[in-house]
Amino acid sequence: MPRFYSVIIMLFFLLFISGCGMLPFSADSGESDEGIFVSPSGNDEQNGTIDAPFQSVQKAADTAEAGDTIYLREGTYHENVKVSQQGEEQLPIIIRPFENENVDLKAAGEKPFFSLKDTEYITIKKFTFHQENTASMIASSGETRALQILDNRFLSSQKAEEEPGSAVHIASSDADSIHEDTIISGNTVERWKHSPAFSLLGNITSFTVSHNRFEKASGTSLDLQAVPGEVNGRVPSEGNVKNNIINSSSGSPGPGIAIEGAHTIAFSHNTIRGGSVGTFIRNTSFAETEDLSFKNNVWQEQTSAGTALVQGPAERPISRISFSKNVWENAQGSRDSAQLRIQSSIRHLSVINNEFKGNTFNGFYIDATEDISTYVTLKDNSFPSSSKAEWKWEGRKFRDLVTFQQYIEQDAPASSFGETE
C-alpha cells in the first residue's frame, strides 16, 4: 500500500476514535476542555465550561458530582468554600489549577479557604495558599473518607497574628465519626508560625503524611493529638509518617513533631533539623500513647533534645516505643541537652542499632529518678566517644558505656505492630 494512503487511513482512524471518546485522557495533564471551569473573569450565571466559566469556586463546588474535575484558571481567589459533595473510589472529585497555570488562594476573613465535612474521595492539589489572617487553609471534619491533599504550597504571612490557623487542620472529635484514609503528600509549607502547620486531632485513622517539606518553621510542623476531655480513645491511629523534611527555625519554641495521645503510628525516613526539640511524645490524662515505631529517621541540631519522651500521668505510662536504625546528630547542645531524653514511665522500650553522634555531652539521657521502664532493650547502638559524654538512667550517671549498657539492658518482648520501611 502506498505510504500516502497509509497516512490517510491512520488520520481517519484517529478522527473516528476521537469522536467516539476513545482517546485516553489523564486528569493530571490538564489537557482537556471537559470539566467545571472557574475564572476570576467568569460569571456564576454562566454554565461553567472552559469558554463560559464560573467566577466563584463555591459555585463550582456546589455543581460538582462524582467524577468531575474543577479547574481554576490563573489568578487569585478570595473565598470560603464549603465542600460537602461525595466522589466515588473510581470517580473522585478533583479540584486543581488548569494545566500549569498559577493559582493563588487566600481565605476571606477568619474561615478556611476550603471547609470539608462528611465528604468522600475529594482531591485538592497543586495550589498556592497564602495565609493572611488567623484562618486555616484547608479544614476537614466529620465522617470523611479518602481526602487527598497533594503537591500544594502553603505560605504564611510574616504578619500573621499569634495562634493563627493551620495549613491543614483535620479534626474528628465526635465519638461516632471517623476520618479515614487521608493522604497528605508532596506539599511545601514555608514560615508557618505559632500554630501547627498540619494538625490531626481525634479519630483520624489509616492516614499517610509523606514527602512534605517544612521550611523555616517557627512552631510545630506536625501535631498528632487526642481529643481533650473524657477518656474516650479518640486518638490518631494506624498512620504512616515518612520521608518528610522539617527545617525548624533556630529559635522555634515548638517541636518539629508533637505526639500527645496516639496509637500504632510508624515514623520512617524523616529528617528533622533545628528547633529546641525534634520530636515530643507524651501521654495525657485522657489518652494513652502507645505502639510508636521510629526507623531510619535523622534528628539534627536540636538545642535541647532530638527526641523527648516526657512524663505523663503515672497511671498512663507510654507503652511499646521502638527506635531502630535512627541517627541523632547534635554538635550544638548545652550540657543539659540530650539526643534521646526520657522523663516518663515507659513499658516495653526498644533502642536497637541506632547512632548517637556529634553531641559534646549527652548521648542518651534519662533524668527521672525511679520507675522509668519495664522491659528495656538497649543494644547494638553507637554512642559518642567524647570523654565528656554522660549516660544517665534513673538518677545514676555513667561515664563508662559498658557499665551503663550492662545496667539497663534487659530482654523486651517484641512490639505488637509491624514497622514500616
Element (H, E) at 7: helix 3-19
pTM as predicted: 0.85
Distance CA 128, CA 106 (A): 9
Q: In a structure prediction context, what are the per-residue pLDDT tens digits for the chain, which is 421 residues long?
A: 454 445 444 444 444 444 444 333 334 444 456 899 999 999 999 999 999 999 999 999 999 999 999 999 999 999 999 999 999 999 999 999 999 999 999 988 889 999 999 999 999 999 999 988 778 899 999 889 999 999 999 998 756 555 678 999 999 877 678 899 999 999 999 988 778 999 999 889 999 999 999 998 888 999 999 887 765 568 899 999 999 999 988 777 789 999 998 999 999 999 999 888 899 998 887 788 889 999 999 999 888 888 888 867 666 778 889 999 999 887 565 556 778 887 767 778 888 998 887 655 555 555 443 455 567 777 788 776 555 556 666 666 766 666 766 666 544 344 443 344 4
Bridge partners (DSSP) of residue 265 are: 239, 292
Burial group, residue 58, by CB count within 10 angstroms (0-12, 13-18, 19+): middle
Distance CA 373, CA 90 (A): 48
Per DSSP, the chain holds a count of helices (H) and strands (E) of 3, 38
Name 176's Cβ contacts closer than 8 Å, sequence gap at least 6: none
Question: Domain boundaries in the chain?
Answer: 3-408
The residue assigned the cell 504512616 is: 240
Class of domain 3-408: mainly beta
What torsion do the CA atoms of 187, 188, 191, 197 make, to the nearest 10 degrees?
Answer: 20
The reported pLDDT for the residue numbered 197 is 93
Q: Within 10 A of 66 (CB to CB), how many other CB atoms are there?
A: 15
The CA-atom distances, in angstroms, between 394 and each of 156, 190, 381 are: 43, 40, 19
The reported pLDDT for the residue numbered 384 is 64
